[in-house]
Amino acid sequence: DIQLTQSPSTLSASVGDRVSITCRASQSISGWLAWYQQKPGKAPKLLIYKASTLKTGVPSRFSGSGSGTEFTLTISSLQPDDFATYYCQQYNSYFTFGPGTKVDI
Amino acid sequence: QVQLQESGPGLVKPSETLSLTCNVSGGSISTYYWSWIRQPPGKGLEWIGYIYSSGNTYYNPSLKSRVIISVDTSKNQFSLKLTAVTAVDTAVYYCARGGSFLDVWGKGTTVTVSS
């Protein structure tokens, strides 16, 4: 099984901050990684797939990078709507989700 | 655009079978993969399995012995059955489109396992 870890687990930030979340895989997953945003009581929303491809309609302040075992989600200038929990997901071998990173004030 | 809606009982007794359906509207169920994911209260996401519109299935190895996912293309819907449920199966269950990344999600339905 491929395991994913995320760091940090919680991130306190302010509007306008540049924030980064790291996702590490227990073995190489090439670029088969997606990022999701989830707000309380809502379904997750896809932000990025194939490590760095932004889903159509997702603001350009979101970006993804990485390959192999280490990946990063970056929000260039945090907006009020971005306070949420972020999950990474690998799809190299079946699916696994990371444990999540909560971004709060 | 494609929309997904989960339906099914919100309460299931221990040892019984959880049955949910996901209705796909605004597009055809054909030529796509369709997934089930769950999220226990206050916890992270767990993939359950996915099915191709032809009927090929892929299950989470940790749940494989208890899961059946099926598709009904004539009704544009797919379904989840989880047998022998216990309290640890209490969760919000989501259906989603995709067999890799998941680009469209239903709103989720809460299922509680309790007598």
Q: Judge contact between A58 and A82, C-beta under 8 A.
A: no
pLDDT-based confidence at B28, cuts 50/70/90?
Answer: very high
- Over residues B34-50, mean pLDDT: 97
Mean pLDDT of chain A: 97
Backbone angles phi, psi at A84, to 5 degrees: -170, 180
User: What is the share, in percent, of chain B residues with pLDDT greater than 90?
Assistant: 97
Comparing alpha-carbon positions, the chain A residue that sits nearest to B6 is A43
pLDDT-based confidence at B30, cuts 50/70/90?
Answer: very high
pLDDT digits (tens, 9 = 90+) for A3-22: 999 999 999 999 999 999 99
- What whole-number distance in Å separates Cα of residue A87 and Cα of residue B101? 12
pLDDT at A105: 77
Judge whether B106 is closer than 8 Å to chain A, CB to CB.
yes
CA distance A15 to chain B (A): 25
- What whole-number distance in Å separates Cα of residue B96 and Cα of residue B64? 19
Backbone angles phi, psi at B87, to 5 degrees: -60, -30
pLDDT at B31: 86
Contacts of A30 in chain B (CB under 8 A): none
CB contact under 8 A, A94 and B60: yes
pLDDT digits (tens, 9 = 90+) for A33-44: 999 999 999 999
- Over residues B52-73, mean pLDDT: 95
CB contact under 8 A, B45 and A94: no
Terminal CA-CA length for chain B: 39
Contacts of A89 in chain B (CB under 8 A): 45, 101-102
pLDDT at A90: 97
CB contact under 8 A, B103 and A32: no
What the block records as the tokens of A4 is 């994913």
Backbone angles phi, psi at A28, to 5 degrees: -60, 135
* A→B interface, C-beta within 8 Å: 1, 32, 34, 36, 42-46, 49-50, 55, 87, 89, 91, 94-100
Contacts of B47 in chain A (CB under 8 A): 94-97
Q: Judge contact between B110 and B6, C-beta under 8 A.
A: no
pLDDT-based confidence at B9, cuts 50/70/90?
Answer: very high
> What are the angstrom distances between the C-alpha of A30 and each of A95, A96, B17, B37, B78?
14, 14, 38, 23, 31
What the block records as the tokens of A83 is 């306070």
Q: Which residue, among B105, B34, B23, has the nearest Cα to B69 in the 3D structure?
A: B34
- What whole-number distance in Å separates Cα of residue A95 and Cα of residue A93? 6
- What whole-number distance in Å separates Cα of residue B40 and Cα of residue A36? 17
pLDDT at A50: 98
